[in-house]
């Protein structure tokens, strides 16, 4: 997993509440066994029309949001099933930060385990980000995990909370396996001692 320290990127607005994991990555695309390649199917039923043509009305298809790495959405983002493919598809598409006023618990935890920073702000703060994004084409934010601070070049400064242990894991690029491997020497010593006994 790549360390997350600071991200400066274009903001994409997804002005919807209760975005569930089946909308994030529909079930028919869950057949792959590796974590990569899911970005092309992100929000598939919204990004594409019935004839597989791109839906010009969907936010992420608009030219001004191409290459965005920060997603802003409404409350209860990531609800529904617990599929880990949801953060895989968001990350593979290019999103490194998701900002919402609330997240479904399992999705929220899965984000940290896969290198995405989910940020909880108030409804008013989220609304302000929607307004700023609409007003300025190519609107960018800088998200600094070390400082727990969101800024733009127009004077915006928003602080956010994050659990200290999760912050440590993201800053160091550690998933569950990486965290375990930090103790590889002790594990090996234990296994060697056990084999002798």
% of the chain at pLDDT higher than 90: 80
- Rounded to an integer, the average pLDDT of 176-183 is 64
Residue 182 is predicted with a pLDDT of: 62
What is the C-alpha separation between 89 and 83, in angstroms, rounded? 11
The pLDDT, as a whole number, for residue 76 is 98
SS3 content of the chain, % helix, strand, coil (to 5): 40, 20, 40
Which pTM does this prediction carry?
A: 0.91
Domains detected in the chain: 6-196 (3.20.19.10)
Q: β-strands 157-159, 70-73: how paired?
A: unpaired
What mean pLDDT do residues 83-99 have? 96
| Span 94-119, average pLDDT | 97
Query: 173: helix, coil or strand?
Result: coil
Residues of the chain with pLDDT > 70: what percent? 92
What's residue 175's pLDDT? 79
Mean pLDDT of 101-108: 97
Q: What is the pLDDT of residue 24?
A: 98
> Which position has the higher pLDDT, 191 or 75?
75
């Amino acid at each position: 997993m790549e360390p997350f320290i600071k991200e400066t990127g274009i903001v994409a607005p997804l002005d919807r509440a209760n975005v569930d994991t089946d909308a994030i990555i529909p079930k028919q695309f869950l057949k792959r066994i590796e974590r990569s390649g899911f970005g092309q199917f992100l929000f598939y039923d919204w990004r594409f029309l019935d004839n597989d043509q791109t839906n010009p009305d969907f936010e992420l298809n608009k030219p001004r949001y191409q290459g965005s790495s920060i997603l802003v959405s409404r409350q209860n983002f990531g609800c529904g099933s617990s599929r880990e493919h949801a953060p895989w598809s968001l990350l593979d598409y290019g999103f490194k930060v998701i900002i919402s006023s609330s997240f479904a618990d399992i999705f929220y935890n899965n984000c940290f385990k896969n290198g995405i920073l989910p940020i909880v702000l108030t409804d008013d703060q989220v609304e302000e980000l929607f307004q700023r994004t609409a007003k300025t084409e190519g609107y960018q934010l800088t998200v600094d995990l070390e400082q727990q601070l969101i800024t733009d070049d127009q004077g915006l400064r928003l602080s956010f909370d994050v659990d200290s242990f999760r912050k440590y894991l993201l800053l160091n690029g550690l998933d569950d396996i990486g965290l375990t491997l930090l103790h590889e020497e002790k594990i090996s010593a234990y296994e060697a001692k056990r084999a002798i006994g």
